[in-house]
Amino acid sequence: MNLNRRLLYRNIAGALLWGFLFLVLILSVRSVNTVNKTGEIAATAITRQQEKTLNEVREVARAFAVEWATWNGSQENYGRRLAAFLKQGTTLPQPAEAIQEVSSSSVIGVQEIDPDLYRVKVLLHTRRLTPVNTGEVHETLVAITRKDLEDLRSQETIDTENTQGWVDQLICVETVVNRAEDPPTIAGMPVLIAETQEKGSLLKTDCTKIASPEIVTFVNQFLTLYYSGQPLNQFIVAEADIQPLAGEWKLESVSRVQADDEKQPGKLLVEAIVSGPGIGALNQILYIKLHPGEGNGYLIEDIGSGL
């Protein structure tokens, strides 16, 4: 009887010991998982300083994009507004040949490309003075010019064939903000891109060489399709996320194409003039990243704003 009782107690004690060890093991695994998850959260969490930095970058890019896209016909006024965001000595861009105001703006993407450099995508809702038929827009949106008022005073008929009205337009641009300056400055002029296009990866480029005639022709062909919203399959690498622009943009001319290397160019600096509804000319300075194609040809890997 005593022997059986001892065996029973021993079995109970053994069961309790194994149960305790099993419980310790489970708690240890849970502790490790908790630590790992906490580490992952900490690694991906944004600090207050990072949040402050991003907010600062977003606001500078948004405010500059609004000023850049506000065209009132005064070059002096345009230059004074933009100079507040640019590093001293930076060449001021020319305003577009158009009258446009910005109704609203929002930042839809921020990408850190360097400790102090950020590419920012801004969506602008604009109203642009555009030639229209009087039946196409509400009468309150038809612009009355000084000449129209003078014609009314002299009891002459107003020219309805050349009527202009305020037409809503959506513009998506990408710019580069440099946080190394205090306050932060704009390092890359706004470039027109598709709203659905991912942010690119171009960094500072050294494009000081004159591009070959073949490259210039290639760029002209690509930008003609890019601005007119045509398929780009034959000009871009398969994995590139480059979308043609939606809207009625048109490439008018390419005034400058410079490369980082004369024989084997990898990056291009391009200056072009485009037009659109109500816009006679809009200057664009953009960067293109090239990828070797078949034979001696090239394909485009990236396009956007750069330094």
CA distance 79 to 5: 99
Is 127 part of any domain?
yes
Q: Are residues 102 and 227 in the same domain?
A: no
Question: Of 158, 192, 226, which marks where a domain is finished?
Answer: 192
Which pLDDT does position 226 carry in this prediction? 96
73: domain CATH number? Answer: 3.10.450.540
Q: Are residues 136 and 98 in the same domain?
A: yes
Q: Are residues 124 and 228 in the same domain?
A: no
Number of domain units in the chain: 2
Which pLDDT does position 13 carry in this prediction? 66
Question: Of 192, 210, 232, which marks where a domain is finished?
Answer: 192
Domain limits for position 279 = 200-307
Q: Do 197 and 109 contact (CB within 8 A), yes or no? A: no
DSSP-assigned states of every residue in the chain: -HHHHHHHHHHHHHHHHHHHHHHHHHHHHHHHHHHHHHHHHHHHPPPHHHHHHHHHHHHHHHHHHHHHT-B-S-HHHHHHHHHTTB-TTPPPPPPPSS-EEEEEEEEEEEEEEETTEEEEEEEEEEEEEEE--TTTS-GGGB---HHHHHHHHTTPPP--TT-EEEEEEEEEEEEEEETTSSS-EEEEEEEE--TTPPP---------EEPPHHHHHHHHHHHHHHHHT---TTTB-TT----PPPSS-EEEEEEEEEES-SSS--EEEEEEEEEETTEEEEEEEEEEEEEE-STT-EEEEEEE---
Q: Are residues 254 and 288 in the same domain?
A: yes
Which pLDDT does position 297 carry in this prediction? 86
Is 61 part of any domain?
yes
Which pLDDT does position 177 carry in this prediction? 94
Which pLDDT does position 158 carry in this prediction? 47
Q: Are residues 109 and 220 in the same domain?
A: no
Q: Are residues 235 and 139 in the same domain?
A: no
Question: Of 137, 166, 192, which marks where a domain is finished?
Answer: 192
Q: Are residues 163 and 212 in the same domain?
A: no
Q: Are residues 60 and 136 in the same domain?
A: yes
pTM of the model: 0.74
Which pLDDT does position 9 carry in this prediction? 62
307 residues of the chain, pLDDT tens digit each: 555 566 666 667 667 777 767 776 777 666 655 545 545 544 455 688 878 888 999 999 999 999 999 998 899 999 999 999 998 888 888 899 998 999 999 999 998 888 889 999 999 999 888 877 666 555 555 555 555 555 545 555 545 556 777 888 899 999 999 998 888 999 989 999 988 776 555 555 688 999 999 999 999 999 999 999 999 999 999 888 899 997 789 999 999 999 999 888 999 999 999 999 889 999 999 999 999 887 778 999 999 886 6
